[in-house]
């Protein structure tokens, strides 16, 4: 049975499908840092509904979280779309990841 349980808060170490501890490095680690930054940004804002103010606050929080990643020197794309009243879809592309990343962030 495959296991992919994170054992650290930054998710740089995990248990792989064989049960061994595996270090996630390079591009995979940078991508995980981006995902974590999006979720941290969602946790940082104090809104319960996807209002224009919530979207702007999330945009600022995402920028702050992404620029805190050492590998990121430029944000190429940052789009936020409302999926429903409590969920926003965030699409980001930076100079540290090859492909844009889209994640749903709950308020």
Q: What is the pLDDT of residues 21-36, one digit of tens each?
A: 555 557 777 888 899 8
CATH number at residue 80: 3.10.450
Q: In which residue are the tokens 């919530």 written?
A: 54
In which domain, by residue range, is 89 found?
Answer: 13-106
**Does 3 map to a domain?**
no
pTM of the model: 0.74
Most confident of 7-11, 22-26, 92-96: 92-96
Q: In which residue are the tokens 């699409």 written?
A: 91
Residues paired with residue 79 on neighbouring β-strands, in sequence order: 91
**For residue 42, is pLDDT > 60?**
yes
Q: In which residue are the tokens 């591009």 written?
A: 27
Task: Pick the closest to residue 37 from 72, 13, 77, 3 (CA basis).
Answer: 72
**Does 4 map to a domain?**
no
**Does 2 map to a domain?**
no
**Does 41 map to a domain?**
yes
User: For the chain, how many structural domains are there in total?
Assistant: 1
CA–CA separation, 6 and 15 (whole Å): 7
Q: In which residue are the tokens 């248990």 written?
A: 15
Q: In which residue are the tokens 């940082």 written?
A: 44
- For residue 95, give Cα distances in angstroms to 2, 43, 75, 80: 32, 24, 7, 19
């Amino acid at each position: 049975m495959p296991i992919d349980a994170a054992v650290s808060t930054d998710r740089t170490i995990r248990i792989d499908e064989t049960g061994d501890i595996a270090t996630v490095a390079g591009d995979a680690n940078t991508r995980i840092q981006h995902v974590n930054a999006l979720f941290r940004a969602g946790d940082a804002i104090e809104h319960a509904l996807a209002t224009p103010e919530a979207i702007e606050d999330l945009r600022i929080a995402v920028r702050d979280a992404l620029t805190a990643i050492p590998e990121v020197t430029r944000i190429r794309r940052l789009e936020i779309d409302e999926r429903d009243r409590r969920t926003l879809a965030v699409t980001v592309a930076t100079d540290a990841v090859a492909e844009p990343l889209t994640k749903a962030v709950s308020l």
